[in-house]
Amino acid sequence: ESQLNPNYNFENFLEGDSNRLARSAGLAVANKPGGTAFNPLLIFGGVGLGKTHLAHAIGVDIKDKYPEKTVLYISAEKFIQQYTDAVRKNNRNDFIHFYQIIDILIIDDVQFFSGKAGTQDVFFHIFNHLHQNGKQIILTSDKAPVDMQDIEQRLLSRFKWGLSAELQHPDFETRVAILQNKLFRDGVEIPNDIVEYVAKNIKSNVRELEGAIVSLIAQSSFNKKEITLDLAKQIVEKFVKNTKREISIDYIQKVVSDYFQMDVDTLQSKTRKRHIVQARQLAMFFAKKFTKASLASIGSQIGKRDHATVLHACKTVDNLAHTDKQFKKYVEDLQKKLTL
């Protein structure tokens, strides 16, 4: 079972300036898996920009051209889960062996390896084995190797061995082409000016872009209304509003804890472990910055702290952001995520 989705292929992964390098590197790898300099091929970029689609497309194409090769697609989260299970059941060696006999290994969202020392160690060995034997490794991540945190140096350096190719935000022409292709495949006709209106106004990512058009089609068939520019305007407005939704303290805590890969309970807990304290302070800082809540109210919502603690957190974050490069990066990354 390769776990590949045949609908995610090259044919419907539309080309544009934003993805040309990654797409053609993917094609090169698919033509000669393990036989190009792009090993590993690491595809990185923000949410909804096509990492998973492209990773599948490479696998699907290889399976097509080389049916005898074993191709495996797996999400990093699932890989971590499998590894944890294997350790618990004393099957670590079987786990390693299983991965060492694969010809093409595709792991999606390797940023989730960060902070997972055991998984990184086992993956390091699998990686070396596959690479030495000329097997192809394809990885995706939400950031470039240089920006990855809590990943061992020896693994990071291997990530950089091959090619890191970025998926950027598609430009207007590409967005129009993606929408038209989708409509064509779904057998739906929508006037060009409406397609262009949607493409012009939804720039966040391809997933949202497709979501808007799906919602437009659904609205029109549900209400038996024609698809008009007016209807498109209403839907686009809703989409844009939803994306720029008001930032709540809950949302901030969720984003911050996701970023540091802990759960909200941990972020709120009484622990004095440095990285958890810092995560909590960052949540407080952004709550102060992005909401109208009082210091007292912020404190009570983030782990029942008092207003002095929140004030102290804001000052600390401000200081660290000016003195600690790594910390400054956290602030910038989180700010970006919160205001996306």
Residue 204 binds Mg ion, judged by CB under 5 A: no
Q: Is 47 in the site for ligand ADP (CB under 6 A)?
A: yes
* Residue 167 Cβ vs ligand ADP, minimum distance, rounded to whole Å: 6
* Residues linked to residue 44 through DSSP beta bridges, in sequence order: 141, 166
* Per-residue binding letters, 234-273, with ligand ADP (x by CB under 6 A): ----------------------------------------
56: exposed, middle or buried (C-beta count within 10 Å: 0-12, 13-18, 19+)? buried
Residue 49 touches which of Mg ion, ligand ADP, none (Cβ within 5-8 Å per kind): ligand ADP
Footprint (CB under 5 A) of Mg ion, residues 219-258 = none
Determine if 52 is a binding residue for Mg ion (CB under 5 A).
yes
Using an 8 Å Cβ cutoff, are 76 and 84 in contact? Answer: no
Structural contact between residues 264 and 306, judged by C-beta atoms closer than 8 angstroms: no
Q: Which of 2, 33, 44, 53 binds ligand ADP (CB under 6 A)?
A: 53
Residue length, the chain?
Answer: 340
Tokens of 106: 């595709």
Alpha-carbon dihedral angle through residues 7, 72, 133, 22, given to the nearest 10 degrees: 40
Q: Does residue 13 touch ligand ADP according to CB under 6 A?
A: yes
Task: Give the total of residues touching ligand ADP (CB under 6 A).
Answer: 16
Stretch that binds Mg ion, among 11-19, 48-56, 147-155, 250-258 (CB under 5 A): 48-56
Segment holding 257, helix H or strand E = helix 249-259
Strand, coil or helix: 33: coil
Q: Is 19 in the site for ligand ADP (CB under 6 A)?
A: yes
Residue 53 contact among ligand ADP, Mg ion, none, beta carbon within 5 to 8 Å by kind: ligand ADP
Task: Please give the structure tokens belonging to residue 41.
Answer: 């091929």
* Residue 206 binds which of ligand ADP, Mg ion, none (CB < 5-8 A, kind-dependent): ligand ADP
Rounded-to-integer distance, Cα 48 and Cα 205, Å: 5
Contact pick of 52, 204, 220, 309 for ligand ADP (by CB under 6 A): 52
Residue list 164-203, contact with ligand ADP (CB under 6 A): 178
Cα separation of 340 and 152, whole Å?
Answer: 29
Cα separation, 160 vs 14, in Å, equals 26
75 binds Mg ion (CB under 5 A): no
Residue 141 within binding range of ligand ADP, rule CB under 6 A = no
Minimum Å gap between C-beta 19 and ligand ADP is: 5
